[in-house]
Amino acid sequence: MTEHTDAGSPRARGPWLLRRASVDDLDAIMGIEQRTFPTDAWSREGMHAELVGAHRYYLVAIATDAGGTPATSETNASAEPRASTEVVDAYAGLLAPPGAAQGDIQTIAVEERARGKGLGRLLMHALIAEARRRGIRELFLEVRADNPPARHLYDALGFAQVGVRPRYYQPDGVDAIVMRLQLPEARMEFTERSAVVDSASDRAQQDPRAERSEA
């Protein structure tokens, strides 16, 4: 079950709460980034630029306890001014300039402990909804050719392969499959939402990242 509430007063009935990411989440995001992509992780500077960049929309998934309250870590060694103790299990980002026809899924990463529980799909639905709200008609992403589970999920979400970028993922030398989702015109106005997902939700395995670089 998924419940959507206003961002100002989120309520959780499942294991995750989605909210907008900020630079205060940079430590947690970079931890997931480096654990998930040890050979080609983005730099801290690059990720910071994404979080503050124009026309970006980044979300983090916060683990919650059985009562829907955000879970917290016992210790925190962060030197950031506001060191959040929330447990971040995933993040995802969208580039979608308002009024543009095309947008991109910039990145998506899920902690190993949270994979296979529908969290990646939840994040993808949230980014797709925001893209529609901004008037995007074509949404692109790139996925590693050696990740069939991720490609299956994107197929299920309506993405179709439109190209290949040979040896795009370095230093591994793996091809990138370029995929596109054609979005219908939004029939209602969307507002920014917080969202939660019940543990009994779709359990399809999600690729920890789908990325398409800016031209």
Domain boundaries of the chain, sorted by first residue: 2-197
List the chain pLDDT tens, one digit each, 215 residues: 233 323 333 433 348 999 999 999 999 999 999 999 898 899 999 999 999 999 999 999 999 875 567 766 554 444 444 444 789 999 999 999 988 999 999 999 999 999 989 999 999 999 999 999 999 999 999 999 998 888 988 999 999 999 999 999 999 999 999 999 999 876 654 444 444 443 333 333 344 454 533 33
Taking the CA of residue 134 as centre, how many other CA atoms within 13 Å lie in the half-sphere pointing to its CB? 24
Burial group, residue 44, by CB count within 10 angstroms (0-12, 13-18, 19+): middle
Dist. CA 187–CA 207, nearest whole Å: 30
Query: Looking at domain 2-197, which of 3.40.50.720, 3.40.630.30, 3.30.70.2470, 3.40.50.2000 is its CATH number?
Result: 3.40.630.30
Report which residue type is found at 204.
A
Helices (H) and strands (E) in the chain, counts: 4, 9
Order of strands across the sheet that contains 160-169: 2-6, 193-197, 16-20, 56-63, 88-95, 102-110, 138-144, 174-182, 160-169
